[in-house]
Structures are given as C-alpha cells and as structure tokens.
Structure 1
Amino acid sequence: MENKPQMDYQTFQPHPDLSAFVKFYWTLEVPFDPNNQKQKIIPDGCIEMTFNFKDKIKRYTSQKDYIIHPNAMIMGQRTKSYFIEPMGDVDSFAICFYPYGFSNFVSTPLENLVDVETPIESLFGEIPAKELEQKIIQASNTKERIEIIEAFLLDKLNQNRTIENLVKTTVDSLQAANGSNSINKILKDDLSKRRQLERNFKKQIGISPKQLGKVLRLQTALKMILNDKESLTNIAYESEYFDQAHFIKDFKEFIGTTPKEFLGNENMALSTLFYK
C-alpha cells in the first residue's frame, strides 16, 4: 500500500494580551497528491483569518460548482459543513478567534460574514490589508508571522469598541456547558434581555445563540467519537442530547453523514486532524 502524504497541522498559543480573543494560531502543510479527496470542513463556532502561501483552494458551492478562496481572508461563522479541495500544495497560516473574539477588531456586523469567505481588505481597508499580507508572506517562519499579526491585532484592539457584556456571558455559559445550556436558563427567562441578546449576538458573533449552542454541542460529541470510542448512546447522553435519534439528526444536519459513516471517511481526514 502506497504512503499517503502527511498533513502537518500545528497550533500555537497567543500572547496573554490577546488570549481573551484569540483561541490559537495554526499552520497546515499538505503536499499535493492527485489522489487526495475533497475535504469536508465542519462548523466549529469560531471565526478564522487565514493566509494561503501556496496554490489556490476551491470551496464547493454544489456538487460541481466552486469558488476560489481569497489568499488572505476571514472565514465567518458557518451554519453548515462544506467541501474544499486544494489545487496543489497547501501551506497556510491562520488565526482562530473565539466566538466573541473577532468582533473586537472590526466594526462590520458579523452576520454579514456568515457562510462566506471575505477578503481582509473588505474589513481592514485595501492599503493596511495589503501591507499585512505582504509582511505575513515575507516572514521567514511562524514565530515571525505570529509577532506580525499580534502587533496588527493589538493596534486594532485599541481602536475598536469592546464586546457587549450580555453576549460575552452567554457565550461563556454555552462554552462551559459544551453548548447544552438553554438560553432561557442563562437569561433566567427575562424576555426583554432575550430580544436584546438575539439582536447583539448576530451582530457580534454572526449567528444566533441557539445555532452556536448546536455547533458547540456537536463539537463535544465529535471529539468523543474521535478520541474515546464510546458507544453512540453514551456520547448522545454525555453531550446532553435528548436521545440518540436527536443526536444522529443533528449530526446529519451539520455533517451530512451519520456518526458511523464519519469514521474512516477519506473526505473527513482534515476535520479529523482538527478535532483530534
């Protein structure tokens, strides 16, 4: 059996001054192989800024149609899984923001970024974006790239408003409960707060609290499937789904396969790497 090219995925921690906003930085290198399969990317509740140094990457909009990723872009919140396919070698550097992290650096409502790839010049202006992209490309290693992006983000942080407190406490509660906390419980059934939350949440996170909760709960289940090899009944129970049928329905809705079909699926190799 021939050896498949290795995907090299690494993560790096942010500076303490940015650790409330940035979850981690990551790099990914994958040598081109004509036998490589399309890869399905699964929503994770985060927003990412990515820089691509090698060949273009396609994102499929249907079975055959695709768009080409910008080389420097923001990937907004996702409400569904999607397929990508590199057109050659992959060499990427990215910043993974917490759900409420990215809103602190831009004034654009984040609901405008949902399910699309937005070139960074659309959010930061053409000249600053081009300067940043050139510095990132010309840097000689990941450590330098992290220093460049952190200087850029810290400068932006000082210019922008901070996240609305109700949004932050709701996200914190959802993350602490792995997405299973009901919004009514978080808000103690205060209807006026709920309306305020829904409005601000979409602007500052991109999606609704309920959608984010679904994504976070699915993430918990995915990690258990990949790492613990527990039974689906146990995973459904521990992820606080109503029952196994509810778990499988949510899983299929987001990922397009059943949990059993997910394991060992070549289209899921990249997502498996991210979740492990």
Structure 2
Amino acid sequence: MRYTEYTPCEALKPFIKTYYLFETDGEGLYEDTAFATGCMEVMFNMSTNKWQSRSDNQFVDHAPIELWGQVIQPLSFRTTGKSSMLGARFHAHTSSFLLEEGISLFNDHISNLADIMGNSVQHLHERLLNTPTLLERLLLLDQFFINRLAKREKVSNKIQLLSAASSQIQQREGILDVADLATRYGISSRYLHKLFVQHVGLSPKLYQKIHRFQQSLMLLNKGADSLTTIAYQAGYSDQSHFIRDFKSFTHKLPSEFSTLSATAILVSPCK
C-alpha cells in the first residue's frame, strides 16, 4: 500500500485539505478499516479493480466515483490486486461548497457522487482516466473545484464562521460550552448546532470528540508513556473518559491500537 498527499492550488487551500493517491499492489486481498476523522472525501477510481465496504454484515461494491460521508462508526473496506484511487479530502467545515444537500445525510455512507452531481463529475472522471500524468490530473481537480466554488458563493460566509468556530473547538479542553462558543460569534447555540449539522455533518460536541480521538491516535503512534498521559494531552477529563471515547470510535481498546488500521495515522488531520 502506498499513500501520497499533494497540495491543492492556493485558492483551494481554505477548502481542500489535501489531494492524495492511494495505491495497492499485488494479486492478494487488501483490507483496512476507516475511523472518524471529521473530514469528508471524494475518491476517483483510476483502475479497473473494484473497492468494497461492509454494509449490513456484507461487502458491497463501490461506485467508480465515491463520496465518503462523515465516518463515525468503524468502516471496513477492501480491494483485490493492483488499484489506484485519486482523492480529495475537505476540511471539516468545507464540503458544503461541493454539495447542496445537508451534509449529515451522508454520515456513515459511501455514496455514488455521480448520482448526486450528475454529468459534471462523470465528465471529470473520464478526463482524469484519459490524462497521462499525475500533475495534469491534479490540475484538472483544481479546475473542477474552483468552478464549483464559484457557483457556491452563497455558503462562503457560513464556511468562514464554521472555520473560526471549528478552530476554537480544537483548542478547547474539557466539556465544550456550545452557548459560550455561539455567543462569541453573535449567534444562538441552536443556530450554531444547526450550521454544524448542515455543513459539517456533526454536532459541535461530536466534532470535538472526534478531534480528541484523532489527537489520541497520534499520541499512541508516538508511543506516549501511559494512557493517563495520552488522556491528559488529548484534553480528556480522565483515563476512563479517553478509553470510553476510543472504544466508541474503534470498538477496541487503546492497547489494540497497533492492529487497528494501516492508514489511520496516514490520513489523520492531526498529523
């Protein structure tokens, strides 16, 4: 497995966290598990091999153009043989510049983006497949997303507010006071909650919970001294709080971290 990230153009940096190429080699089965990151993604299958994910205790085929909603519960996925996926990962608060529907509708689902966006994204996929170099493909992605951004100017003010609010949430320790955060921006807590659900797909408190979980993954990967140390550094109230949250996102204990996922650290927004 190879995972490589690429930087979008300057105009898209506030909206797209990274482009990436995810590749597998060989004839065997590749399996992994995705965990909550707080970010949505779009992936284009650049090979003929299909990807699958587990749904209702069985594996189902993915469409050639995938929209990954907010992953909250662990999501198992797999492919066989040599494959290549070209993807774009959005910031937590910016996927609504691409989609007009409420973002929370896509939570814990991998959807066919062509069913949502129609011919424009299908045409982009065809051009990507017929373009020989990676650099040219990345330029096509830039062009597509810039055009989309120009059509969605009406959400720009909300995205700016959510950018500031999500940054504040990342810096908070202890229990998040949503009312206090809303007051900072001159809006009601109910409206802030509504904005997060519509444009991030998560409530403010769940977003904070996922951010802490991702911080704990990075600390585990670095070999932090103890679970108590990790809990403190990631902003949990105590070790039991950390373990409880960790299990809710992985269905496993922190001590089992090394066996969880080959890509969990590579795709973490906290790395």
- Same fold judged by TM-score > 0.5? yes
- RMSD of aligned residue pairs (Cα, Å): 2.3
Within 5 A, what are the aligned runs for 1:120-135?
120-125=113-118, 127-135=119-127
Q: Secondary structure at the match of 1:29?
A: strand
- Residue 169 of structure 1 is aligned with which of 138, 141, 164? 164
Within 5 A, what are the aligned runs for 1:58-69?
58-63=52-57, 65-69=58-62
- Residue 154 of structure 1 is aligned with which of 139, 146, 156? 146
Give the CA deviation at 1:162. 2.2
1:16 maps to: 10
Give the CA deviation at 1:132. 0.6
In 1, Cα distance between equivalents of 2:137 and 2:173: 31
Give the CA deviation at 1:157. 0.8
Within 5 A, what are the aligned runs for 1:14-53?
14-34=8-28, 36=30, 38-53=31-46
Instruction: Determine whether 1:77 maps to 2:46.
Output: no
In 2, Cα distance between equivalents of 1:22 and 1:84: 23
User: Any conservation in 1 of the 2:21–2:87 contact (CA below 8 Å)?
Assistant: yes
Q: Secondary structure at the match of 2:262?
A: helix
Tell me whether 17-26 or 167-176 shows the greater mean CA deviation. 167-176
CA change 1:31–1:177 in 2 (3 A) is farther
Give the CA deviation at 1:257. 0.9
Unaligned residue ranges in structure 1 (runs of 5+) = 1-6
Letter aligned with residue 183 of structure 1: V
CA change 1:99–1:253 in 2 (3 A) is same
Give the CA deviation at 1:190. 9.5
User: Any conservation in 2 of the 1:170–1:186 contact (CA below 8 Å)?
Assistant: yes
User: Any conservation in 2 of the 1:49–1:72 contact (CA below 8 Å)?
Assistant: yes
Any idea what the Cα deviations from partners look like across 1:55-100, whole Å, max 9, x if unmatched?
111101244x122111112111122111111133221110000011
1:118 maps to: 111
Give the CA deviation at 1:49. 0.6
Which 4+ stretches in 1 moved above 6 angstroms? 189-192
In 1, Cα distance between equivalents of 2:221 and 2:175: 20
Give the CA deviation at 1:123. 2.7
- Residue 108 of structure 1 is aligned with which of 77, 82, 101? 101
Query: TM-score, normalising length from structure 1?
Result: 0.88
Give the CA deviation at 1:172. 2.1
In 2, Cα distance between equivalents of 1:107 and 1:99: 16
In 1, Cα distance between equivalents of 2:129 and 2:247: 38
User: Any conservation in 2 of the 1:178–1:217 contact (CA below 8 Å)?
Assistant: no
User: Any conservation in 1 of the 2:29–2:80 contact (CA below 8 Å)?
Assistant: no
Within 5 A, what are the aligned runs for 1:187-202?
187-188=182-183, 193-202=188-197
CA change 1:108–1:49 in 2 (3 A) is same
2:131 maps to: 139
Q: Secondary structure at the match of 1:74?
A: strand
Query: TM-score, normalising length from structure 2?
Result: 0.90
Tell me whether 25-34 or 70-79 shows the greater mean CA deviation. 25-34
Percent identical among aligned pairs is 24
1:4 maps to: none
Give the CA deviation at 1:27. 0.7
Letter aligned with residue 73 of structure 2: K
User: Any conservation in 1 of the 2:178–2:204 contact (CA below 8 Å)?
Assistant: yes
Give the CA deviation at 1:142. 2.0
The number of residues matched between the two structures is: 265
In 1, Cα distance between equivalents of 2:185 and 2:199: 21
Q: Secondary structure at the match of 1:274?
A: coil
User: Any conservation in 1 of the 2:20–2:86 contact (CA below 8 Å)?
Assistant: yes
- Residue 260 of structure 1 is aligned with which of 236, 255, 265? 255
In 2, Cα distance between equivalents of 1:180 and 1:227: 26
Any idea what the Cα deviations from partners look like across 1:39-60, whole Å, max 9, x if unmatched?
1111100010101122111101
